[in-house]
Structure 1
Amino acid sequence: MTGFIQITDTHIVAPGALACGRSDTAEALRRAVATINAKLPSLDGIDCVIVTGDLTDHGAPEEYAHFTSIMAELKRPWLAVPGNHDTREPMRAAFPDAAWMPTQGPIHWVRELGPFTIVGLDTLQEGARHGALGSEGLAFLDTALDDLGDKPVIVATHHPWIHAGIPAMDTDNLHDGAQLMARLEAYPGPIRMISGHVHRAVVGQIGRITCQIGPATCHAVLTDHHAARDPQLVLEPGAITVHRWVETPSPGFVSDVIPIGAFSGPWPFSD
């Protein structure tokens, strides 16, 4: 089996600071990295870690430097797409030697993982909370999908298209998501969309496409299904998502949300 781990919405701030004055996002990311490293021996075929946006809270160079110093402990390579809290040029400048980082323009990339491929798409609209691919992003996706034929694909974005049922977040998702979905629906092979932004684990179906939002490593957004309320931060436990391609009982993608931290056990199911 081949797979990767998704982390999202790390929201790293300057050393010693707290996001929103309350959330120790750096410690949360350290715990996420430690959890991944500890789990790797029992996880089969994990190739890399994908960060689906909001690496930092303000897109500042010192925040990217702090993010880089924490991720240096990770025992797998990582790739990232920006979120609405990122800024594209400081992010590009922070990772100039990364093979996946384009030298200019939106931060789109393709990663081959044997039986399937990940297409990372930049949905950042600087100065706005919502996301969009625009003509350039949609053209990049068209080319990538044409090149892949019918090979299984995961499309990774920061902003989702599926609504999570939290109105304060749903208004800020992918504004040209219908155009994206039309392309995914038309693709002849297995395809899934994964995203971040909502800070919660949410799964839904749009047509034949499974759309999955990963939980944040740090704080969550409060589940509140009432309209006209601002999103609120809640210090729920963070988590990571393990995505794998499995062959049995039928070929397809399987995902497992794993809480961050060290817990008692394991023990056999016997007295």
Structure 2
Amino acid sequence: MPGFIQITDTHIVPRGALAYGRSDTATALQRAIGTINAKLPLMDGIDCAIVTGDLTDHGTPEEYAHFASLMTNLDLPWMAVPGNHDRRDAMRAAFSDQPWMPAEGPIHWTRDFGHFSLIALDTLLEGAHHGALAPEALAFLDASLRAIGDQPAVVATHHPWMHAGNPAMDADNLRNGAALMKRLEAHPGQLRMISGHVHRAVTGQIGRIPCQIAPAPCHAVATDHRQDVEAALTLEPGAVTVYRWQGAAHGGLVSDALPTVTFSGPWPFQD
């Protein structure tokens, strides 16, 4: 059955540097790529990876070049949307040869997996931590949903609309997500919204729409539900998220967090 892998918030910095002076994001991405490549023979149907924003930490050409060099080792084609740490023009220039990259404007794209479609939306507001969907994004979404009829769809963004429970991060999520959710609610097929930005695995539901936030392969945002506390990073084990369409009677899109740390096993349950 078809599927894809979500990588998010890689925050690549110049070679030899650490993000925030602590997080070795390049090594974390290398580890994630190694994990994906090793697991691919066991995951039938995975045909691409998507990167849901914050590819780099400052959006510089040097950082995008470093990101691109690391991604050459991935045994899958990949595509991406920008996050608040990215810069659209620099990202477009770095990946202008990629078939998913539009020649101008916001970086939106779609991919047809047969059983479902993926619609990726650009939520970047240059210079802001929070995100928003421009009128062009909503028009792109409308056209994409019309084109697929009642086919199930996954909508991918960097900024989530649902609150994750961390006030410092929730303040910087998607500001006009109500307009997005109104359109998703009206779609006749199954829908799911997936995002990044929070560096944690969080699930919820808005109306009938399941919403997921994916963990990052590098640092996490510390869990802290108190008000008026600034966001902080922790060096927790990283992960990527695997999505596969299950064809059984009770199937649909199923997700699984794949840790990118080294661990023992597998062993049979019986000695």
1:170-190 per-residue CA deviation (whole Å, 9 max, x = no partner) reads: 010000100000000000001
Q: Which residue of 1 aligns with 2:170?
A: 170
Give CA-to-partner distance per residue, 1:195-216, whole Å, 9 cap, x none. 0000000000000000000001
* 1:15-164 equivalence runs, <5 A: 15-164=15-164
SS in 1 for 2:179: helix
Aligned 8 A contact 1:117 1:151 in 2: yes
* Distance of 1:3 and 1:68 partners within structure 2: 23
- Report SS of the residue matched to 1:192: strand
SS of the residue 2:244 aligns to = strand
Return the alpha-carbon distance in structure 2 between the equivalents of residues 117 and 177 of structure 1. 20
SS of residue in 2 equivalent to 1:66: helix
**Could you tell me which amino acid in structure 2 is paired with residue 78 of structure 1?**
W
The letter of the residue matching 2:182 is A
User: Using the alignment, how far apart are the partners of 2:172 and 2:152 within structure 1?
Assistant: 28
Which residue of structure 2 lines up, in the alignment, with residue 186 of structure 1?
186
Instruction: Tell me how far apart the structure 2 counterparts of residues 3 and 162 of structure 1 sit (CA, whole Å).
Output: 24
The code of the aligned residue for 2:251 comes to P
Matched letter for residue 249 of structure 1:
A
Write out per-residue CA displacement over residues 115-158 of structure 1, whole angstroms, 9 at most, x where no aligned residue: 11100100000000000012111010000001110101000000
* Partner-residue secondary structure (3-state), 1:264: coil
Paired residue for 2:11? 11
TM-aligned CA deviation for residue 251 of structure 1: 3.2
Aligned-residue CA RMSD (Å): 0.6
CA distance, structure 1, for counterparts of residue 74 and residue 261 of structure 2: 15
- Matched-pair contact (CA < 8 Å) for 1:7–1:240: yes
Instruction: Compare 193-202 and 245-254 and name the one that shifted more.
Output: 245-254
Unaligned segments of structure 2, at least 5 residues: none
Q: Distance in 2 between matches of 1:134 and 1:215?
A: 26
The residue identity in structure 2 corresponding to 1:20 is Y
Per-residue CA deviation, residues 213-258 of structure 1 (Å, 9 max, x unaligned), is 0001100000100011110000001001001111223231100001
Identity among equivalent pairs (%): 68
Q: 257-266 or 34-43: which moved more?
A: 257-266
2:241 matched to 1:241? yes
Could you say which residue in structure 2 is the equivalent of 1:231?
231
Give ranges in structure 1 of 5+ residues lacking alignment: none
Runs of at least 4 residues of structure 1 off by over 6 A?
none
Report SS of the residue matched to 1:205: strand
Q: Provide the C-alpha distance between the structure 1 equivalents of 2:186 and 2:256, rounded to a whole number of angstroms.
A: 27
- Distance between the aligned counterparts of 2:38 and 2:199, measured in 1? 23
CA contact (8 A) 1:134 1:176 kept: no
State the TM-score, normalized to the length of structure 1.
Answer: 0.99
Please give the alpha-carbon distance, in whole angstroms, between the structure 2 residues aligned to 1:180 and 1:19.
32
Trace 1:185-264 onto structure 2 (pairs within 5 A): 185-264=185-264
Rounded to whole Å, the distance in 2 between the matches of 1:247 and 1:177 is: 31
Give the residue type in structure 1 aligned to 2:171: T
Write out per-residue CA displacement over residues 66-113 of structure 1, whole angstroms, 9 at most, x where no aligned residue. 000000000000000000000000000001110000000000001111
